[in-house]
Amino acid sequence: MLPSNKMKQYSYYWLLLGIFILAGESSAGGISVDAGLTPAENRWMIRVQSRQMGASSQPSTPARQMKVQANVLMAAYGLRPNITLIGMQGWMNREMTMMGAVNESSGRADLNLIIKYLIHRTNTRDQTLGIAATTKLTLPTGEVGFSDDYWSFTPGVYLSLRRGTWAMDASTTYRIQDMFSQQDAMDRGWEYTLDGAVARQLPLGGLKNMALAPVLEFNLLVDQGDHSSSAEPSDTESVVFLSPGFKYTYGSMILESLIQVPVWESVPITSLEKEVRWRVGLRLMF
């Protein structure tokens, strides 16, 4: 094979790999405490988040590495006391290294539109419980190399519980990829997530509007890519993250940060293994 053709082939592989890694990464997830609650009616919540992610090849395969910075903007509006409309847009910067060659690129990711519906909420002197259902639609509006190039549908359920200074959260989602595909020879891929979090609110200086909350999250991600109907799926990736972090609250502003450490991973031999991730974000309520 000619060198130019080989480089084109590698570029194609990197493009597929980049899309696979970025799938689902444009959501403003993480620091998930309070996810089961919705903003008050006619209130806005703006959330900006920056994520640093990386992946590298396994020891038995040629050396490859990918680094990604994802910058995400989320805007949520309380349409009704029990209905929240959310829009999320991500911008990606990517650096890929293979065979000593470094390739850098940047672009806009796919747009996510979400409706959150509050199923149940209980407020008592001792605790607050919120259960919400979500429906997310991912539109293929991203730039080449940063888009899935198809529509995706992701239903989910979120639960939040507050007891005194403690807050607990759990959520699960199931992403149906390529939902409008007409290719009979292909089985649609899917993505499943299960997340849990616990935090404790620690007032600072006796002030009610200022607090620091240590956070510990558990994150499971299972990803199955599209595959031929005649072939057995062999590219399922599973990873478990243990994620310590913190939330600093001052009035209607929340500063948050999280480190995601992969503690267990099962991936095909040709796939890249996830590295430690880091994210920082800011939330404002109006």
pLDDT at 41: 86
pLDDT at 22: 41
Pairing state between β 152-163 and 127-139: antiparallel
Q: What is the pLDDT along the chain (286 residues), one digit of tens a residue?
A: 444 454 444 444 444 444 344 444 444 455 565 665 667 789 998 889 999 999 998 887 888 999 999 999 999 999 998 899 999 999 999 999 987 889 999 999 999 999 999 999 898 988 998 899 999 999 999 998 888 888 999 999 988 888 988 989 999 999 988 777 655 556 678 899 999 999 998 888 766 678 899 999 998 999 887 655 555 556 788 999 999 999 998 888 999 999 999 999 998 887 889 999 999 999 988 8
* CATH class in words for 3-285: mainly beta
In this structure, what token pair is assigned to residue 99? 């065979």
Q: Which of 154, 113, 123 is nearest to 37 (CA)?
A: 123
Tell how far CA 226 is from the center of its chain. 19
- From residue 229, alpha-carbon distances to 156, 173, 174 in Å are 27, 24, 21
Neighbours of 251 (CB within 10 A): 11
pLDDT at 20: 40
pLDDT at 251: 87
pLDDT at 141: 94
Q: How many residues does the chain have?
A: 286
DSSP 99: T
pTM: 0.83
Name every residue whose Cβ is closer than 8 Å to that of residue 19 and which is 6 or more positions away in sequence.
145, 146, 147, 148, 149
